[in-house]
Amino acid sequence: MSKVEFPWGGLASEPLCVADFQVEGGIMAMGRSPFGERRIGYVTGGEFQGERLSGAILPGGGNWSQSGEIEGGLAIGTFDARSIWRTHDGATIYVSYTGRSAIPAEVTAQFRDPAAPPVDPARYYLRIAPVFETSDLRYAWLNGVLAVGCGERMPWGVRHAIFAIR
């Protein structure tokens, strides 16, 4: 097979923010349907901090995820999340994202054990692809941004380091 050329070059990114999503009350398991194992997490608040973007994550969003299992007990999942962010200077931003997770069985067991210490995020895969929508002209640049995020499970929810793709 010949080498494939990408005339537009590779992807580059720049840090956008770190977003802490609080999910109090845990994750509600809906059980297995013909479409997979559905789970719902209600966003109760949070914050995001970055050089050009900071503020609060408002209560009321959520993540409607599905999960399954592949070889070796590896739990895989998809995300369908939505939230409203309010910037430090009063702009409102609608944020939605999809994503994927891959969590080994031994990590899943640690997540379920309330006495277990935090799990190193290098031991599992949690990635998102957020998009943004706002009518505030100060943040209109976000309407054209596709971002990616690397996540880490926290005792109060999830933290995502989010990068804008250029």
Phi-psi sector, 109: left (phi>0), alpha (psi -120 to 50), beta: alpha
CA distance 81 to 7: 33
Distances (CA, A) of 154 to 104, 111, 120, 144: 17, 10, 11, 30
pLDDT at 15: 98
Q: Which amino acid is at 121?
A: P
pLDDT at 52: 96
Band of pLDDT at residue 124, cut at 50, 70 and 90: very high
In this structure, of 28-32, 128-132, 154-158, the range with the lowest mean pLDDT score is: 28-32
CA distance 17 to 163: 7
Q: What is the DSSP string of 58-101?
A: PTT-EEEEEEEEEGGGEEEEEEEEEEEEEETTS-EEEEEEEEEE
Domains of the chain: 13-25+35-165 (2.40.160.20)
Give the gyration radius of the chain's Cα atoms: 17
Taking only the tens place, the pLDDT of each residue in 29-86 is: 888 888 788 999 999 999 999 999 999 999 999 999 999 888 888 999 999 999 999 9
Does the pTM exceed 0.85? yes
pLDDT at 25: 80
pLDDT at 5: 80
Buried b (16+ CB within 10 A) or exposed e, 86-102: ebeeebebebbbebebe
Q: Which amino acid is at 151?
A: G
